């Protein structure tokens, strides 16, 4: 079994074949959490999860780039973000679904701050939304999925001050072992995706080697970060096994064992009962 702990089949990239994509994953023994980035995609994640009796879950939250308006145009992204505030009432309604297992993705993103903007103002908005979602996760006893890009020191500071000891995963981790250890010391999990396969520096391999296995998670971040042999095509949850295969290679383990153990880690963090397939 495999668990893609961070994917976006709720995004428009899958608007024509979301159900077929999910079926492919489930047929390949892969469960998933579809992660929201603002209120609309959070609703879509919940709607998808409610269609399946087992193996499909949702996270709801506000991504830092959606706290202000800008056009994002990168290799993997081309969309207009909007200035949304975290509205607790709107997100509380979505908690009626028992398939919601986490708040996020939330956090800080200093890479995509618009050049013409007031940087301090943008960062302040991001931090306000981040802390609001941390408090929301604590209030409803849900795990936290954290996005961090070029902001590890500040993310660590915010989490230390507001969520020390909480259930949390650092999504799409890309920094050094020294940074990973600081999050692990707070009891948090580290999630790796296709970037691990692309990394030529060796720093993520060191993170894989040294992170206690019970704190490792795998993810795709689909439709982005597609691993070989599908590079250049849309990513999807069924491809999370390639991340597991890279971990197996680095740790000199059997692929099936990596899959099973990271699956167990996901169920523990997100309080999912693998027998019933529901959050407990």
Which residues of the chain fall short of a pLDDT of 50?
72-78, 276-277, 280
Q: What is the pLDDT of residues 209-230, one digit of tens each?
A: 999 999 999 999 999 999 999 9
Burial class (CB in 10 A: 0-12, 13-18, 19+), 49: buried
Distance in angstroms (rounded) separating the CA atoms of residues 165 and 14: 36
Look at residues 40, 67, 221, 43 and name the one whose alpha carbon lies nearest to residue 132.
67
Kindly report the CATH number assigned to the domain that includes residue 100: 3.20.20.140
Domain that residue 97 falls in: 2-279
For the range 177-186, what are the long-range contacts, defined as Cβ-Cβ under 8 Å and sequence gap of 24 or more? 177/203, 177/206, 177/207, 177/210, 179/152, 180/207, 180/210, 180/211, 181/210, 182/156, 183/156, 183/159, 184/211, 184/212, 184/215, 186/159, 186/160
| pLDDT at 145 (0 to 100) | 98
pLDDT, tens only, 85-124: 999 999 999 999 999 999 999 999 999 898 878 999 999 9
Indicate the number of domains in the chain.
Answer: 1
Can you tell me whether residue 93 is helix, strand or coil?
helix
Q: Residue holding tokens 């523990």?
A: 268
Please state, in angstroms and rounded to a whole number, the distance separating the CA atoms of residues 107 and 134.
Answer: 9
What's this model's pTM, rounded to 2 decimal places? 0.94
The span from the CA of 108 to the CA of 124, in Å, is 10
């Amino acid at each position: 079994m495999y668990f893609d702990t961070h994917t976006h089949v709720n995004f428009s990239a899958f608007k024509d074949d979301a159900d077929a994509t999910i079926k492919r994953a489930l047929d390949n023994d892969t469960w998933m959490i579809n992660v929201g980035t603002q209120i609309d995609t959070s609703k879509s994640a919940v709607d998808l999860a409610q269609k399946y009796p087992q193996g499909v879950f949702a996270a709801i939250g506000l991504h830092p780039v959606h706290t202000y308006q800008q056009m994002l145009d990168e290799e993997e992204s081309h969309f207009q973000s909007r200035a949304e505030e975290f509205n607790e009432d709107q997100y509380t309604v979505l908690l009626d679904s028992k398939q919601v297992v986490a708040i996020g993705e939330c956090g800080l993103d200093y890479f995509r701050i618009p050049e013409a903007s007031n940087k301090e103002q943008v960062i302040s908005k991001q931090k306000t939304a981040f802390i609001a979602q941390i408090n929301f996760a604590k209030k409803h006893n849900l795990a936290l999925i954290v996005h961090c890009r070029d902001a590890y020191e500040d993310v660590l500071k915010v989490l230390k001050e507001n969520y020390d000891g909480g259930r949390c995963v650092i999504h799409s981790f890309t920094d050094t072992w020294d940074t990973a250890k600081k999050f692990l010391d707070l009891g948090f999990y580290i999630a790796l995706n296709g970037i691990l396969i692309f990394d030529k520096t060796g720093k993520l391999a060191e993170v894989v080697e040294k992170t206690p296995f019970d704190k490792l998670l795998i993810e795709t971040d689909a439709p982005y970060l597609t691993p070989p042999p599908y590079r250049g095509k849309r990513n999807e949850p069924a491809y999370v096994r390639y991340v597991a295969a890279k971990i197996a290679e680095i740790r000199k383990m059997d692929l099936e064992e990596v899959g099973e153990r990271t699956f167990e880690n996901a169920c523990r963090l997100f309080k999912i009962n693998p027998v019933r397939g529901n959050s407990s």
